[in-house]
Every structure is written in C-alpha cells, then in structure tokens.
Structure 1
Amino acid sequence: MNFYQHQEQARKQTGVLIALFLLAVTLIVIAINAVAFFVFFQIEEGRISLTQWIQSPACWIAATVTLGIIIGGSVSKAIQLSNGGAAVAVMAGGNYLSLETKDPQKKQLINVVEEMAIASGIHVPQIFILEDEAGINAFVAGTSPNDAALAITQGALDSFNRDELQGVIGHEFSHILNGDMNINIKLISVLAGILLIGKIGESLTRSSSYGRHRHSSGFSSSRRSDNKGWAVGLALMAVGYIGLFFGRLIKAAISRQREFLADASAVQFTRNPNGIGQALFAIQSHQNGSLLSTPNAEDMSHLCFGEAIKVKFSSLLATHPPLNERIKAIDPSLPARLRARQRKQKISQSNQPHQAPTPSLLIAQQHTELQSNISSQHISSPPSPAAYDGTPIEFSPSKLVDASPSLAPSLKNSIGKPTQKHQQYARQLLASIPTTLLDTAHSREHADIIIYILILATMSSKGKEAIAIIKQHTSTNKANRTIECYKLLKQHNETIRLPLLEIATQSLSLQSEKDASQFLSHIETLINLDKQFTLSEFVVFCLLKKHTFSNKRKHQTINRYSAVFSEIQHVLAALSAASNKAEEINNKAFHQAYSAFSTTEVNPSLPSIQQLNISLEKLGQLSPLLKQPIVNACIDCILHDNFVSIREIELLRAICETLDCPMPPLIPDNTMGV
C-alpha cells in the first residue's frame, strides 16, 4: 500500500467512525430512555405502559436532551482542538519546547525531530515536553502535517538514548505520514460527547448523596427527591460506563493495527530495529510503564506510543497491541534476549552488598545493562550515521542529478516513504548549516531574518532598496544582522536553504495572525520590488504562508479533475518553466504532463505568485488518490530535460508539501546515491 492509499484509507475510516458513533449514540439514547421510564414511571404511582411512554413527550424530551448533551460535548471538544496539535499537547499538560534551549537533552530531541522532518519532507512540528509525566510515552497530534505537534514525556527523555529516541520519533512521524493524526483527533472530539453522559451521572450522584446526608433525619419530600436524583445519577453513571465501553471499543478497533504499521514504518525509516525495540522493552521494565497521570489520559490514550491508561479486558479494549507482540513483530529474538540479560542483572545485583538505590539510579543501571545486552548478544544493527566532518557536500548549482530512467519511479515511490538514506542525508545537511544561521532560524525574535535573506538571495537587483525597506520595518541591529547572515548564506550551497526555511517557519508559526499577516505583506513588497517573479521566491512565499497561517476553513473534497483543469495548467506551466530551457522544450514538457488529464490543446502561461498559490490550495482539496497523478505529472515535468536542478527540486518539494504529499529530499548521487 503506497502513501496515497494509506491517506485514502484513513479518510474512509472517518465514515467508519461516524457509523460506530451513531450506533453508540443510538444505544445510549435507548438506555437513557430505559432509565427515565423505570425511574419516573415504575417506582412512582401512576405507572404507564412502555407503549404509552414511547408515545409520550417525555420520551422525546429525554432523547433530545441526550442527543444535545452528546453533540454539544463533541462540538465543544472539536472547537477546543481546532487549533491543531498544540491544543492537544497543552490538554495533556505539555509545555512548549523553545528551539533556542541550551539543555543538551532537549537539544538532542530537537535535532532528531528536525532530521526526521527534513528527511520525510514534513514541516517541523512544534515540540512539547510533558514534564510531570514519569512514564515513557510520546504522541503526535494535529489535523494535518501543517499543524502537527509532537509531545514526549520527561520519563522518555530520561530513559532513551539517541537510537531509541530516533525509533520512537520515527514511529510518531509514521502516524503523520499514514494519515492517522486526523482520524485520531476526530476520535477525541467524537468520544467526548459520549463520555460526558457518565460525567454528568457521576456529578448527580455526588450532589444527591450530599443531599441525602443533609436530610437523613426524617423522611421529607426533599429527601425523597434526593433519592430519585441519586437513582438517576447512578443510572446515568451506568449508562456512562456503557459509553466508556463503546468509546474504548471504537478506539481499539481503529488504533491497534495502525500501531503495528507505525512500528514497521519506523524500522524502515531508521533501518535500526533495535532502537524502537529497546524503547518498547524500556516501557516493560519501567516502574511507571507508559501510563500517564494527566486527567485527560482517557481522551487521548489512542494517540500515544504506549498504553496510557490501565484497561480491563485489554485483549478487547486496549488501543495498543501487547508490548511483547510489538517487540516480536520487530525482531522475534529480541524479547527473549533482553529478558535473559535482565535475569542475569538481578542475580548479579543480589550478590553485591545491599545499597538502597534511588529511582534515577535504577533507571540508569537498567539502561546501561540494556546497552550491554545489545552489545554482548551481537544483535544485528546498522551503525549510526557518522557525524558530519565538515566536508562540503558537493552539488552543481544548476544540475543536481542526471535524470536516469530509474529516477522518475524512484521519486514517485518516495512520496511519504522516507528511508534511512534520507535520514542520514538530512543529518549531514543539518550539520552543514552554519551555527549562526541555524541559531537565527531557531530564534522566535530573529527567525524573520532567514526569510529576508532567502528573498535577497533570489534578487538579481534592487538589493540596496530591499535592505532599506527591511530597515524601515525592523531595527538597525536586525538589519545589520540580516546583511551578515546574507553574506554567510551566499558562501554556502543552495541546498541548505529549504531546511532553513522549514525551521524558520516553525519559529514564525508562533506569531499572532495579525503579525503573520503584516509580515507576509511585507515579504510580498520585497518580492515585487524588482518586478520579477522567480520560482525560488514562490517557494519562500508559499511555505511561509502555509506554515504561519492557520486555515480553519473546511473545504469540500474534490473528486474530479474537471473542476481543477486551470489549476493543473498553472502548476505544470510553472514547473516546465523552472528549467529555464528554450520555450519549445518547456512547452513540450508541459503538453506531455498535461495530456494525462486532458486531450484539449492549451498554451501554457506562467501564473502569477498569487495564481499559483491559489491553484495549489485548490488542488490540495483533491481526494488522496487523485493527488497521485498530479504529483507524478509534476515529477515527469521536471525530468523532461534529463536533469534536475536545485530550483526545480525545491519547487517540486514545495508543491508536494502544499498538497500534503511530503517528498523526501533528493539525495545527490555523488554523496550517497539516489
């Protein structure tokens, strides 16, 4: 199953979720009516038959109120989570991790996340730390890769080495690539309404119990009312537990198999099964396991790397497969080897003088022993990528790779399928970025400088005028720093520009919508200064707008190409012109690519920056399976002259990212091979 099929499957699961939700709601409405019928009309005088009850207004009032509570709870939660993954991370008790941190442990996390993002072609997600959570866990959340957030517990950070951290982050990125995030965040909203019934019942029971205690002397009408309220509350609690059962059943039905898939994808990504295998074993050995203490653990248990709550009837209701099964699926021999070594460790410790260890010391000893086991048992594992030695990565600025016949299928198959080669290349690419530029991209205060210098680098003239405009909108110190960073950027290869843009837009995404709008308008002014529209400028503008504006509008899915013919023409015209070849060659490339969608003869015309951006936004509404031919046509278009330039590959990756079809970087054949 390829990337587009995974996305389509995830989209169709929304329909399954709605069907299960409606079934659960129907059963809850019936149960609530049964409660009302027996409490109000069977224990009181003036009993009525079931038929009379169904025909009475009270029955429909009970059903309407129940539906109102469920729908209201779900809509309220959906609004709360409409800001994307960051809202879920905050709900779980997460604190935003600044990219400017100097903490070595957190810097390693940032480094791994940025490597994975660059390697997979995904926007760098916001990172949150669950500092009060001692258990080992992590999750990603969001409605799309654009608003994704990654959260990890302090217990996981304290327990993992780099390989284990990489395995877990690879697992979480697989959830982004496989389309799991959207269905997972919808699950939170849908189940919130169902679980609200039980919470109301619990509240009624507590208040009625308090009332019964106050009126314990004598049998007053008030006490009688309290008895009824207590009975209703208890019944609602019972119905709520039914809702909880259905909620967990729905989560288990949707989530469990996707965890196996994410584990397998992480192994494919890192080519290191021991990393994620050891991480899962660490959960087994940890005193807190993967449990979360947050009150919202139930709501978000299906998002997590490991089981976040204790569940009875786990074989039926657990959102995750048993840890041992997951480890065996990765490496059948690993569980037995690790357990054998753990037994030897206990025997060794029992023969030593007793010393009461601290919890942190136990974790450290356990982790050291785990590493010793991996070494002594000779478990096959590829070596970690070598640290970058500072040697410049060689690229031709105009021709990056000779387009052999195998390159087109390779690029098409790479969508949403990053490999260990991509991860290793991303690590080297990040290491080749000057520290000054990387620190600037990480800074919330100075990340805009990266956007300025990327625009300046595309301008053939008007550089002095551009600097003057920048000085008008910023301080003199920032303008001077912009000039210094621009000079540094010009000394390095163009391949560092897209990673810098991705990192800087993560920092800039924290702006208010007003500030983001003003900054985008300012950038448009700079782009229009030399009255020349370049595709490199479009890449900056397109990704800046996508990552700094939260588009909360829900668009209807487009299921036919006839609705987007002009948009396809705009995108293919821009790509065919990116090579700067003769007009005849560019036109031939356009017509060959466009023939996959229409036999009508059209003359390509280069769109404006606004037209191209609007066209991509509309193409982004296509169903996943219809996006595949679009991306394939784009790839064929840039390969028509048998060469791929940095300009072409950057534009192609920006288009793919805008369509939510992430493309890993193209690996130059003179460094690591394609």
Structure 2
Amino acid sequence: MLKRITLFLATNLAVLVLLSIVMRLLGVDPQTSGGLLVMATLFGFGGSFISLMMSKWVAKRSTGAQVIDQPRNESERWLLDTVRRQSEAAGIAMPEVAVYDAPEINAFATGPSRNDALVAVSTGLLRNMDRDEAEAVLGHEVSHVANGDMVTMMLVQGVLNTFVIVLARVVGRMIDGYLGGGDRRGGFGYFATVMVLDLVFGLFASVIAMWFSRHREFRADAGGARLAGREKMISALEKLSRTYGETTLPKQVQAFGISGGVAHGLRSLFMTHPPLAERIEALRRMPTEAPSVRVVS
C-alpha cells in the first residue's frame, strides 16, 4: 500500500511539473498557472479519490449485494472457500464476498485497496455456470484486486481529469486573448470556450481511460486462467456470451464487472470491455503451463 501511495504522490507531482513547463512554453503567467494547477489537481484527483474510498459502500447499496458473513448453504460456503484459496495464491487479504440479485451472468470486484476489497457475483451466474466456470470468474475478479486495478484506474482517471481541466483553460485563455486583442480578463467568451474544450478534451480522455480499462480485462482474464485454469476461463467466457452486453449493474460499477457492453465502429472506443471473441483468442494464445499470478504490490 505504501508503494501505491508513493505512486499517487509521484504521479501527482509529475503532472504538476509537466503542466507547469507546458504553460511556461505557452507564455502563461506562472503566478496564475500555479493556482490553476492546484485547482486542477484538487478537482482532478479529488473526485476519483472519493469515488475509490466509497466504492465498496456504493457497490453494496446500488446493487443490493448481500455480504456472506456466515454461509447459509453449501453454495455460499463454496464461494467463500474458493475466494479464500485464490486470495492466498494471489498474495492478498481475503476480500468480502457477496451475492447480488440479477438475471444476467456477471460478477465484479471493487474496493479502495488490494487488502480491502469486495468480490460479488450475480444470482444469474450461480444459476447458469457450473463450479469450474464460476471458479474461473472468481479468479478473474481476484486478479483485478491483486493487480490493484481499482487504485490504478483512479490514478489514470485523476491524471486525465487534471490534464483536461488545465489544458481547457490554457487553450481557452489563448483563444480569448487572441480574439480580445491580448485582453485576458476572462469574459463570457472565455467561459464558453472552456466549457466546449472541457467536453472535447474530456471525450479524448474517455477514449484513453476506456483503452486502459479494456487492457486490464485481458490481464484479469490471464490471471483467472492462472488461478483456475485456462480451459475453465475460456469456458466461462463462452458461457458469458449468453448474456454478454446485458447488465443491470449501475454505471459506477459496470467497469468492474466481468461482462461488458457490445458496440461497433467508433462506439467501441468508449467500451470498458473488449469483445468476448478477442478475450477468448488472447487466452488461447497463452502457454498451457503458465506461472503463478503476478501480484503488483
């Protein structure tokens, strides 16, 4: 966890330094840019950090997930035993395990850190998957936790938010100064320009964030294959195709589910998950014998 905090601070500092250099090259007043950088960092990382800290609570409330404290039946006992065994193999603390009511085959993992996480499965998954397939899905979610994907996604989103906030205002000042003959008082034209640029730059930032989200799905699939077995993971994804793209997960949790949306063309750039065919093909290219799951501390 200390390394992740260090990464957070180092990333934050790198953003401040880089954007400060860019603004000096663009001729922006450093006194004004200093306040802008502080504001952008607070807003850019603030929302992402708060969302991360509240992620487990929000996920439980929004999905109605019931945490298994004491198993009430053999199925719940198997879920706890499987997650415990996989967590030990991945080198992380035992996550909370929950079940939420939903018809589709799905599962998700979330939480503020590798040692404070939640793994939840849908009732649709328990009804439609056999134990081998469900074990692979749990391995996929445990790998998300072991890889620190929730924290890394927060860092990526925070960096992108900061860039969007700063660059929109830097370019807005340049445009406003040019149109106003060098007068940079920041009138209505400036604010209108900034609003448009926030949307444009935010669109590009979303494309980058979604690319990273799709990349981590491949890594989690590979981790699930190492924890449960490659053929089990392939079989699970093939079974997932029955309801792939159909999700009742709330928006703030969808990116962490094993099932994603379906889109083509430019819309595919904004998808959190790769197409199932690509995920299965990536698993088929894996060596039959793979090393134990790589844990990122």
Query: Which one of 157, 162, 166 corresponds to residue 131 of structure 2?
Result: 162
CA shift, 1:317, in A, is 4.3
Q: Does 1:289 align with 2:258?
A: no
Matches within 5 A, 1:25-36: none
The AA in structure 2 aligned to 1:125 is P
Q: Does 1:304 align with 2:257?
A: yes
Provide the C-alpha distance between the structure 1 equivalents of 2:192 and 2:132, rounded to a whole number of angstroms.
50
Query: Which one of 198, 207, 214 corresponds to residue 256 of structure 1?
Result: 214
CA separation of 1:111 and 1:250: change in aligned 2, threshold 3 A: same
Give TM-score scaled by structure 2 length: 0.64
Q: Does 1:279 align with 2:248?
A: no
Q: Does 1:269 align with 2:227?
A: yes
Give TM-score scaled by structure 1 length: 0.32
The AA in structure 2 aligned to 1:268 is R
Provide the C-alpha distance between the structure 2 equivalents of 1:16 and 1:284, rounded to a whole number of angstroms.
41
CA separation of 1:291 and 1:70: change in aligned 2, threshold 3 A: farther
Provide the C-alpha distance between the structure 1 equivalents of 2:160 and 2:248, rounded to a whole number of angstroms.
19
Provide the C-alpha distance between the structure 2 equivalents of 1:109 and 1:75, rounded to a whole number of angstroms.
35
C-alpha contact (below 8 Å) 1:114/1:124 kept by paired residues = yes
C-alpha contact (below 8 Å) 1:143/1:185 kept by paired residues = no
The AA in structure 1 aligned to 2:49 is A
CA shift, 1:148, in A, is 1.8
CA separation of 1:256 and 1:13: change in aligned 2, threshold 3 A: farther
Deviations 1:275-310 (A, max 9, x none): 222322233332x6254541425xx62x33233586
Provide the C-alpha distance between the structure 2 equivalents of 1:232 and 1:305, rounded to a whole number of angstroms.
40
C-alpha contact (below 8 Å) 1:283/1:289 kept by paired residues = no
Q: Answer 1 or 2: which has greater strand percent.
A: 2
Moved more, 180-189 or 141-150: 180-189
Higher relative contact order (CA 8 A, sep 6+): 2
Q: Does 1:75 align with 2:46?
A: yes
C-alpha contact (below 8 Å) 1:248/1:319 kept by paired residues = no
What is the root-mean-square deviation in Å for CA atoms of aligned residues? 4.7
CA shift, 1:94, in A, is 4.9
CA shift, 1:164, in A, is 1.2
CA separation of 1:293 and 1:178: change in aligned 2, threshold 3 A: closer
C-alpha contact (below 8 Å) 1:125/1:149 kept by paired residues = yes
CA shift, 1:92, in A, is 5.3
Provide the C-alpha distance between the structure 2 equivalents of 1:24 and 1:134, rounded to a whole number of angstroms.
47
Provide the C-alpha distance between the structure 2 equivalents of 1:294 and 1:196, rounded to a whole number of angstroms.
26
- Residue in structure 2 matched with residue 172 of structure 1 by the alignment: 141
CA separation of 1:125 and 1:248: change in aligned 2, threshold 3 A: same
Provide the C-alpha distance between the structure 2 equivalents of 1:23 and 1:291, rounded to a whole number of angstroms.
41
The AA in structure 1 aligned to 2:106 is N
Provide the C-alpha distance between the structure 1 equivalents of 2:91 and 2:50, rounded to a whole number of angstroms.
29
Provide the C-alpha distance between the structure 1 equivalents of 2:124 and 2:19, rounded to a whole number of angstroms.
38
The AA in structure 1 aligned to 2:219 is L
Matches within 5 A, 1:552-631: none
CA shift, 1:245, in A, is 2.8
CA separation of 1:271 and 1:72: change in aligned 2, threshold 3 A: closer
Q: Does 1:239 align with 2:198?
A: yes
Aligned residues: 265
- Residue in structure 2 matched with residue 366 of structure 1 by the alignment: none
Provide the C-alpha distance between the structure 1 equivalents of 2:124 and 2:11, rounded to a whole number of angstroms.
33
- Residue in structure 2 matched with residue 109 of structure 1 by the alignment: 79
Provide the C-alpha distance between the structure 2 equivalents of 1:281 and 1:24, rounded to a whole number of angstroms.
45
Provide the C-alpha distance between the structure 1 equivalents of 2:103 and 2:6, rounded to a whole number of angstroms.
36
CA shift, 1:14, in A, is 6.1
Provide the C-alpha distance between the structure 2 equivalents of 1:92 and 1:285, rounded to a whole number of angstroms.
24
Provide the C-alpha distance between the structure 1 equivalents of 2:161 and 2:126, rounded to a whole number of angstroms.
30
Provide the C-alpha distance between the structure 1 equivalents of 2:11 and 2:130, rounded to a whole number of angstroms.
37
Provide the C-alpha distance between the structure 2 equivalents of 1:251 and 1:19, rounded to a whole number of angstroms.
24
The AA in structure 2 aligned to 1:242 is F
Matches within 5 A, 1:310-329: 313=266, 316-329=269-282
CA separation of 1:147 and 1:110: change in aligned 2, threshold 3 A: same
Provide the C-alpha distance between the structure 1 equivalents of 2:85 and 2:51, rounded to a whole number of angstroms.
31
Mind listing any 5+ residue stretches in structure 1 that lack a counterpart? Answer: 1-7, 31-50, 198-227, 333-380, 382-412, 419-623, 625-659, 661-674
The residue matched to 2:63 in structure 1 has which SS? coil
C-alpha contact (below 8 Å) 1:94/1:151 kept by paired residues = no
The residue matched to 1:148 in structure 2 has which SS? strand
The AA in structure 1 aligned to 2:68 is S
CA shift, 1:86, in A, is 2.3
Matches within 5 A, 1:208-607: 236=195, 239-252=198-211, 254-273=212-231, 275-286=232-243, 289=245, 291-297=247-253, 301=255, 303-307=256-260, 313=266, 316-331=269-284
